Structure 1
Amino acid sequence: MQRRTLACTACHGRQGQATPQGYFPRIAGKPAGYLYNQLLNFREGRRSYPQMSYLLEHLTDDYLREMAQHFASLQLPYAPAPAAQLPASLLERGRQLALHGDKTRDIPACVSCHGQALMGVAPWLPGLLGLSRDYVASQLGAWQTGQRHAQAPDCMAELARRLDAQDVGAVAAWLSTQPVPPGAAPQSGPVAELPLRCGGVQGAGP
């Protein structure tokens, strides 16, 4: 599997470890179900990145599932988070959105889906720590503009459209500067009580 995933690690870093300073996201240790769904999304055109689509277009579901399980099994240390170099008011806005949401605009907190430690919930929901500011902001922007899709109902697209540009910058900045505790990993738990219906999460609410 290590040889078969050389094309993955060329961008995502050695063993998929990446760093918060780069653009490409860490995939090591992410929940297997989430990784598998994203590989399907790239192969089937719901996510748009030509290099990924080209690499995956002829791979079978079973092959993609094996790749996802391989990277999910890699529990590797995280690089230190970069120092915050932004106004305290912006970071506080990001913290509020991540931990508490904004009830006045029907925006749920990130922790309500991605786990109280923001490390994801196995097997379907990804962690948000250890990602670069640019990556988080660009993905929220892609959902807002329709460049990124998930299986219907597309909960992240619905949520992203409720955020304004300042919200996107704030939450991306705050998440990118949070340290990952040693040994942190996705939590296990039910997904039936998510605040939004999410087609990319098996077993989401009715």
Structure 2
Amino acid sequence: MAAVLPAPDTMASRVLACTACHGREGRATPDGYFPRLAGKPEGYLYHQLLNFREGRRRYPQMAVLLENLSDDYLREMAQHFAGLDLPYPPPSAVVRDPALLAQGRRLVEQGDPQRRLPACTQCHGAAMTGVSPDIPGLLGLPRDYLNAQLGAWQTGQRRARSPDCMADVARQLSPTEVSAVTAWLAAQPLPAVTRAARALPQPLPLPCGDVSVGVRP
């Protein structure tokens, strides 16, 4: 009888509990709720793990998984998923309302200066693939997930370290505006280069407690 060899002790084997929900290698799942982990900026992933463990984000299953893990181990997990460079699936356009999509594009690319509402691209990058080390991309995410997260920011179910810039932005959006933004984002294809940008062309429009980014000279 052949001997049973032990499984390799690698981070990929240790995070199999994560991929049960987030999909093989953290690629996300087709059910429309669990987000992609692969390739997201390391700092962003690390801060979200901390936020789940410390109660700033509320999801009991995540809290149970993380409650006994150290900061250093959470950093290793973030490094693992951030280092995965895997293809994205094509977007699934579920909304065909031209007026709603146009409103979403306008808010994403221009914001609303009269309300001092910044464009999504001012923080998440012109290509909307995120900015290292702490800002995630907005493309390649299921619309249901985007809706859920903006709703969580609005209601305080999701929080970040003060000043909580995303909460300030989300609370300015009406239900129709949330629907428009998420419909447009979920319908966009990924660019050829999906990695997060290294810096922004200008400083962040709002102070953000969990965010550190460079500015291109």
Task: Pick the TM interval, shorter chain.
Answer: over 0.9
Shift of 1:85: 2.8
Shift of 1:105: 1.6
Contact 1:20 1:79 in 2 (8 A): no
Letter matched to residue 48 of structure 1: R
For structure 1, which runs of at least 5 residues remain unmatched after alignment? Answer: none
Partner residue of 1:22 out of 19, 32, 51: 32
For structure 2, which runs of at least 5 residues remain unmatched after alignment? Answer: 1-10
Partner residue of 2:61 out of 51, 61, 72: 51
Aligned partner of residue 14 in structure 2, secondary structure: coil
TM value normalised by structure 2? 0.90
- 1:46/1:191 Cα in 2 relative to 1: closer, same or farther (>3 Å)? farther
Ranges of 4+ aligned residues in structure 1 off by more than 3 Å: none
TM value normalised by structure 1? 0.95
Instruction: List per-residue Cα deviations over 1:10-59 (Å, max 9, x = no partner).
Output: 11100101156521000100000000000000000000000000000000
Shift of 1:202: 3.1
Partner residue of 2:44 out of 15, 30, 34: 34
2:4 maps to which residue? none
2:150 maps to which residue? 140
Aligned partner of residue 131 in structure 2, secondary structure: strand
Matches within 5 A, 1:86-101: 86-101=96-111
Contact 1:191 1:203 in 2 (8 A): no
Distance in 1 (CA, whole Å) between partners of 2:158 and 2:201 is 22
Q: Percent identity?
A: 61
Give the greater-gyration-radius structure (CA).
2
Number of equivalenced pairs: 205
1:199 lines up with 2:176 in the alignment: no
1:67 lines up with 2:77 in the alignment: yes
Contact 2:132 2:213 in 1 (8 A): no
Contact 1:20 1:131 in 2 (8 A): no
Contact 1:114 1:127 in 2 (8 A): yes
- 1:47/1:65 Cα in 2 relative to 1: closer, same or farther (>3 Å)? same
Contact 1:77 1:182 in 2 (8 A): no
